[in-house]
Chains A and B, each alone.
Chain A
Amino acid sequence: KAGVTQTPRYLIKTRGQQVTLSCSPISGHRSVSWYQQTPGQGLQFLFEYFSETQRNKGNFPGRFSGRQFSNSRSEMNVSTLELGDSALYLCASRGTSGANVLTFGAGSRLTVL
Chain B
Amino acid sequence: EDQVTQSPEALRLQEGESSSLNCSYTVSGLRGLFWYRQDPGKGPEFLFTLYSAGEEKEKERLKATLTKKESFLHITAPKPEDSATYLCAVQVVTGTASKLTFGTGTRLQVTL
Which residues of A line the B interface, CB within 8 A?
Answer: 4, 31, 33, 35, 41-45, 48, 50, 55-56, 58, 90, 92, 94, 99-107
Q: Does B69 contact A (CB under 8 A)?
A: no
Question: Which are the 4 A-B pairs with shortest beta-carbon distances?
Answer: A104-B43, A56-B97, A42-B104, A43-B102
CB nearest neighbor in A for B96: A55
B45 and A104 form a contact (CB under 8 A): yes
Residue of A nearest to B89 (CB): A43
A106 partner, pick from B41, B46, B97, beta carbons under 8 A: B41
B44 close to A (CB within 8 Å): yes
Query: Which applies to chain B's interface (DSSP): helix, strand, loop or mixed?
Result: strand
Interface size in chain B (residues, C-beta < 8 A): 25
Chain A residues in 8 Å Cβ range of B31: 100
B43 partner, pick from A42, A48, A90, beta carbons under 8 A: A90
B65 in the interface (beta carbon within 8 A): no
Is A56 touching B98 in the complex (CB atoms < 8 A)? yes
Which secondary structure dominates where chain A touches chain B?
strand
Contact call A101/B99, Cβ cutoff below 8 A: no
Interface residues of B (CB under 8 A from A): 31-32, 34, 36, 41-46, 49, 87, 89, 91, 94, 96-105
Complex Cα distance, B11 from A46, in Å, reads 29
27 inter-chain pairs at a CB distance below 8 angstroms, sorted by A residue, are: A31-B98, A33-B99, A42-B87, A42-B102, A42-B103, A42-B104, A43-B44, A43-B100, A44-B102, A45-B100, A48-B98, A48-B99, A56-B97, A56-B98, A58-B99, A92-B43, A100-B98, A101-B34, A101-B49, A102-B34, A102-B46, A102-B100, A103-B46, A104-B44, A104-B45, A106-B41, A106-B42
Contact yes or no, B41 A90, CB < 8 A:
no
| A48 → B minimal CB distance (Å) | 6
Say how far B25's CB is from chain A's closest CB, in angstroms: 14
User: Which B residues are CB-close (under 8 A) to A33?
Assistant: 99-100
Are A45 and B101 in contact, CB atoms less than 8 angstroms apart? yes
List, in ascending order, chain B residues with CB within 8 A of A90's CB. 43-44
